[in-house]
């Protein structure tokens, strides 16, 4: 059996969140949806459980924090192309979400950092399959102009500044 991932998110308005997530590409799973929670399917093994904040609180003894006032988790979801990343960004903005940070294009990877209506941070990204296979450093070395050292590539340096592994 394959491993599945379930991301649980507290939400202030369940109907608003269901509308938002289905508008940006998640499918509603009615068998696991009721007046307190909704299951959203991104693919065969990745799901979001969006739960009314009060119901979410029954699953923990810790205080439930507002995602609008701080960040604890950034959930990244891959897309099939740079164009799909851009399309998803447009859908997020058109359906009540916001932009957490400006879009980034590192050459080997493109990403957008967005927020849902409650303030949860969602990143949508695409990575060139060759970079995913060999790692960004090898990819950038292969694609450096003749005679240019790959360390001089601004895209890679920018990626390191954003937290990608150091060489």
Q: Are 96 and 29 in contact (CB under 8 A)?
A: no
At the top level of CATH, the class of 72-167 is alpha beta
| Sequence ranges of the domains in the chain | 1-60, 72-167
Residue 105 has pLDDT above 90, yes or no: yes
Q: Is the pLDDT of residue 66 over 80?
A: yes
Cα-based torsion angle of the residue sequence 41, 47, 52, 58 in order, rounded to the nearest 10 degrees: 150
pLDDT band at 30 (very low <50, low <70, confident <90, very high): very high
Model pLDDT, residue 157:
55
Output the pLDDT for position 143.
74
| pLDDT-based confidence at residue 167 (cuts at 50, 70, 90) | very low
| Predicted structure pTM score | 0.81
Give the pLDDT of residue 144.
73
The fold adopted by the segment(s) 1-60 is 2,3-Dihydroxybiphenyl 1,2-Dioxygenase; domain 1 (3.10.180)
pLDDT of 152 above 60: no
């Amino acid at each position: 059996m394959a491993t599945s991932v379930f991301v649980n998110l507290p939400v202030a308005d369940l109907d608003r969140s269901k509308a938002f997530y289905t508008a940006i590409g998640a499918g509603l799973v009615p068998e696991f949806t009721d007046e307190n929670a909704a299951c959203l399917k991104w693919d065969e093994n990745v799901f979001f459980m969006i739960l009314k904040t009060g119901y979410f609180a029954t699953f923990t003894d810790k205080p439930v924090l507002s995602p609008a006032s701080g960040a604890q988790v950034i959930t990244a979801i891959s897309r099939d192309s740079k164009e799909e990343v851009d399309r998803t960004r447009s859908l997020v903005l058109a359906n009540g979400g916001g932009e957490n940070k400006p879009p980034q294009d590192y050459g080997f990877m493109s990403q957008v950092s967005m927020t849902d209506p409650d303030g949860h941070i969602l990143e949508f990204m695409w990575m060139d399959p060759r970079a995913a296979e060999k790692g960004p450093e090898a990819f950038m070395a292969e694609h450096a102009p003749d005679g240019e050292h790959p360390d001089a590539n601004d895209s890679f340096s920018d990626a390191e500044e954003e937290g990608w592994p150091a060489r």
